Amino acid sequence: MNVRPFRDIKRRKTKIINVGKVKIGGDNPISVQSMTNTLTTDVKATINQINDIAEEGADIVRVSCPDESSALALKEIIKHVSIPVVADIHFHYKRAIEAAENGASCLRINPGNIGDEKKIHEVLKAAKNNNCSIRIGVNAGSLEKDILEEFKEPCPEALVKSAKRNIKILEDKDFFNFKISVKSSDVFLSIAAYRQLSKVTDYPLHLGITEAGSFVSGSIKSSIGLGSLLMDGIGDTIRISLSDNPTQEVKIGNEILKSLNLRNRGVKIISCPSCARQAFQVIDTVKILEEKLSHIKTPITLSIIGCVVNGPGEAAMTDVGITGGGKGNNMLYLSGIQNEKVLTDDIVNKVVSEVEKKASELEN
């Protein structure tokens, strides 16, 4: 069912760039990214992790290339993955050239940290020759020395000044296929920097709260920071930075976009926190259903409500719904309409069956 959201977010209009087969900016969907944490030289482990990240719903993945062996390993890695690879480069310009020549779809660099003008020109030449875009990655933890001396500490103005400086470096070399990020581990600093930057450039913006932390704290920080910006229409691609499995980053990123009606992918579960009124174990049921329905990619809404207080109302707005009833007789709703009673022990199997049936209908 398509229920009209209370508020439609009007996205800021940006230029369109390509990261491999994925278009970033303009009216294109906001993409979700993650980053591998395997040794890039361990080709098999890196391929497996990228494929896990893609299966979870990532559109793009970033891979660190700290040395020549890592950059050269991209050639084999890219043969066995389905999503574009961004090469993460710091300081050494030759790593960027090698990455571009070995199949990277994008280079994450700070042009100002690459070195003299000749080295930057060589990187941009390799990027152009290999249809490779660039992400200018400004970070509060690695600002240029002169900018830090000017502003005394990382602040929104310092991050934006660094971004503008790096933009000019690329534009002066007639290179325009790039996106920009101005990340910080501080939520307020990040929000302010992105808001300022969005007023002075129309290049696509990559959003993130860097080094956000563990799964719980990092997810909350990222949701506040990225959610605030996305609601303002700012942001064309996102990455949730967590000290956790990269697939968790993708899961949280997709959930943020789904909650703002900016992306529809997979099963969106509306469930109650449970209380003494519940007719079945809501929390356990939801956990099981999340696992059993994780393979569904088609956008479907599912409500799991333990009693009749809010259950019928929520079920009226979802594709599939279960509302708890007395004596183990729970009501199944399909497309908002009462369909049949379901025994508590049969809830999981019945819901999985109906969601899979709905997904098949929508796909065909």
Q: Which residue from 266, 221, 226, 259 is spatially nearest to 56, judged by alpha carbons? A: 266
What is the CATH classification number for the domain harbouring 327? 3.30.413.10
User: pLDDT tens digits, residue range 306-326?
Assistant: 999 999 999 999 999 999 988
Question: Is there a domain that residue 92 lies in?
Answer: yes
User: Residue 166: CA atoms inside 13 Å, Cβ hemisphere, count?
Assistant: 31
281 and 237 in a common domain: no
For residue 4, pLDDT over 80 is answered with: no
pLDDT band of residue 328 (cuts 50, 70, 90) is: confident
User: pLDDT tens digits, residue range 111-144?
Assistant: 777 778 788 889 999 999 999 999 999 999 888 8
Number of domains within the chain: 2
Q: Which residue has the tokens 């230029």?
A: 15
| Predicted local confidence at residue 205, as pLDDT | 98
Domain's final residue, options 224, 259, 294: 259
Average pLDDT, the chain: 93
Residue span of the structural domain in which 88 resides: 17-259
138 and 277 in a common domain: no
293 and 178 in a common domain: no
252 and 217 in a common domain: yes
**Percent with pLDDT over 70 in the chain:** 98
Contacts of 12 (CB under 8 A, 6+ apart): 198, 232, 233, 234
163 and 42 in a common domain: yes
Mean of pLDDT values over 153-159: 96
Domain's final residue, options 208, 224, 259: 259
**Percent with pLDDT over 90 in the chain:** 85
The more confidently predicted of residues 288 and 7 is 288
Strands (E) across the chain are located at 17-19, 22-24, 31-35, 60-64, 85-88, 106-109, 133-139, 178-183, 206-207, 237-239, 267-271, 300-305, 320-323, 329-334, 337-343
Question: Is there a domain that residue 1 lies in?
Answer: no
Question: Is there a domain that residue 304 lies in?
Answer: yes
User: pLDDT tens digits, residue range 331-357?
Assistant: 999 999 999 999 999 999 999 999 999
Question: Is there a domain that residue 53 lies in?
Answer: yes
150 and 292 in a common domain: no
pLDDT band of residue 106 (cuts 50, 70, 90) is: very high
Q: What are phi and psi of 93, to 5 degrees?
A: -65, -30
pLDDT band of residue 212 (cuts 50, 70, 90) is: confident
Question: Is there a domain that residue 12 lies in?
Answer: no
